[in-house]
Amino acid sequence: MIVIGLTGGIASGKSTVSAMFKELGAYIIDYDVLAREVVQPRLKAWQGIVEEFGQEVLNEDLTINRARLGQIVFDEPGKLKRLNKIVHPEIFAEADRRAEEIGKSDPDAVIIKDVPLLIETKIHRKVDRVVVVAVGGENQLMRLAGRGLSNEAARKRIAAQMPIHEKERYADFIIRTDGSIEDTRRQVDEVYGQLCKQARTR
């Protein structure tokens, strides 16, 4: 078994790369999905969010209104830090539990933890290999424009993240997505082949 940390910047193509790894047989643990699961009503993280930010972040069905919560924390680092302190431990514990389960049932498993903030949250220290999905700045802006973001909003989102070139310093493998989808797939196939070999020899 080998545990991989997969990360990249916004609009880098990380989700596409993750899906390609899944098609090849990797097990994917998606931290964005876990982030939604651990804040379901009445769970520990949900209770912490309501205590910290109040009832106004709830929808009528008691689920978290992610847009409203985002408005509260996005421009205030202190509040974002408090939110992360509530949610991150729950996500990390659930991810580790799932990885352990997979490893028991498949000793040769390639497990990919798909984590937007892999480096920032120090999870890269707890995985066997790091894969960074990288894209050039202009392509990143074009993709965000395609999602309906203005140029200013896109630049603001990019600036709020750790620069890709910094993330690359932590990478064992870099997959560049500036080219065609076929080119990306070729890189993913190559990396996956190496990871499978490493998983079998561990």
3-state secondary structure 150-200: CHHHHHHHHHCCCCHHHHHCCCCEEEECCCCHHHHHHHHHHHHHHHHHHHH
| pLDDT at residue 75 tops 80 | no
Pairing of strands 2-8, 129-134: parallel
Give the whole-angstrom CA distance, residue 25 versus residue 129. Answer: 17
Global pTM reads 0.87
Q: What is the mean pLDDT of the chain?
A: 94
- All domains in the chain, ordered by first residue: 2-200 (3.40.50.300)
Average pLDDT over residues 92-102: 97
